[in-house]
Amino acid sequence: MRYPLTRCVLAASWLAAVFLTTAAGAQSGGSEGLSPTLANIKNTHVVRLGYRESSPPFSFLDQANRPIGYSLELCEAIVDEIGIEVDDANLRIEYVKVTSDDRIPAVVQNKIDLECGSTTANAERSKQVAFSPLMFVAGTKLMVPNASTISGPNDLKGKTVVVTKGTTNEQAMHAVDKKFALGLNIVTAADHEQSYQMLVDQKADAFATDDILLYGLIARHKAQDKFRVTGEYLSYDPYGIMFRKGEPQLTAVVERTFRKLGSNRDLVPLYNKWFVSRLPTGEKLNVAISPQLEEAFKVLDDTQGTSN
């Protein structure tokens, strides 16, 4: 299936340019000159990656309960670049489970170094944390039973909609409720898997989250005969890797990683590995790269020669 968000092509390119600020001012020094996060990594030889259990294909568990996914592979590339920055080729990765509700506090409170999930980068969150360049573009849609008559916001009057706690989708549904005077009963679950289960158990009429996550859950549960994704986009959600704010040297490392991936033309093949090809867990999303994300990756490549 194609993944259209054509109205956001220019916006995505702009976001990529905003997040991809120049790293020229951040100079690497010896261990005594490292920023707090990098200094701690050098001292402990460990990088702590926050992962999500049920956000396929970004961050989820394989059959052996090991964290895998597109976002984690991007984070692993950042870890390699951190190793160069701190002069330690043998850094160890520690995986730390986070949820949509506690992921931002986990970054702010120094419980993880990089959050590798499906997190929307927006102005409100940027007051607390920093984000990598754009890695994906999604939008809020609805998952409903195949037999449901719901096809858009106007069909939700008086209905129960489940959202995952702490997500931008929760905010989007409250905004939709107010705009259309729907009288929604908006309920929350702790993670996407529990939100999905509420729909399965008929405790909700619809599940609202980013469309790519809905497609991932349907594929993972082989539920194409039970549920469908419907409606217009109710929000615009650009994704990024999250890390601590106020550390220019760490920002430089993250951005340099993305520029290298862009310059080496690694980003589109990496995307295809997780969104088009069959996943290690057997599912196949077959979601082709969107025009705006392809353009954002091209911007990363184009800036390689000017941001050293």
Q: What is this structure's pTM?
A: 0.83
- Amino acid 279: pLDDT: 95
- Amino acid 303: pLDDT: 55
- Residue spans of the domains in the chain: they are 6-137+237-302, 140-230
Residue type present at position 302: D
Confirm if 289 and 212 have CB atoms less than 8 A apart. Answer: no
Confirm if 51 and 116 have CB atoms less than 8 A apart. Answer: yes
* Ranges under pLDDT 70 in the chain: 1-32, 302-308
Residue type present at position 197: Q
Separation between Cα atoms, residue 136 and residue 272, nearest integer Å: 12
- Amino acid 6: pLDDT: 42
Contacts of 41 (CB under 8 A, 6+ apart): 47, 82, 86, 88, 91, 113
- Amino acid 302: pLDDT: 60
Look at residue 221 and give its three-state secondary structure: coil
In this chain, the answer to whether the domains covering 6-137+237-302 and 140-230 adopt an identical fold is yes
Separation between Cα atoms, residue 45 and residue 206, nearest integer Å: 45
- Amino acid 33: pLDDT: 86
Q: What is the pLDDT of residues 22-79, one digit of tens each?
A: 333 333 344 568 999 999 999 999 999 999 999 999 999 999 999 999 999 999 999 9
CATH number attached to the domain at 140-230: 3.40.190.10
- Amino acid 17: pLDDT: 47
CATH superfamily of 6-137+237-302: Periplasmic binding protein-like II (3.40.190.10)
Place of tokens 């890390």: 243
Q: Pick the closest to residue 37 from 101, 100, 89, 111 (CA basis).
A: 111
Separation between Cα atoms, residue 242 and residue 253, nearest integer Å: 13
- Amino acid 144: pLDDT: 98
Beta bridge partners, 243, equal 130
Separation between Cα atoms, residue 48 and residue 93, nearest integer Å: 6
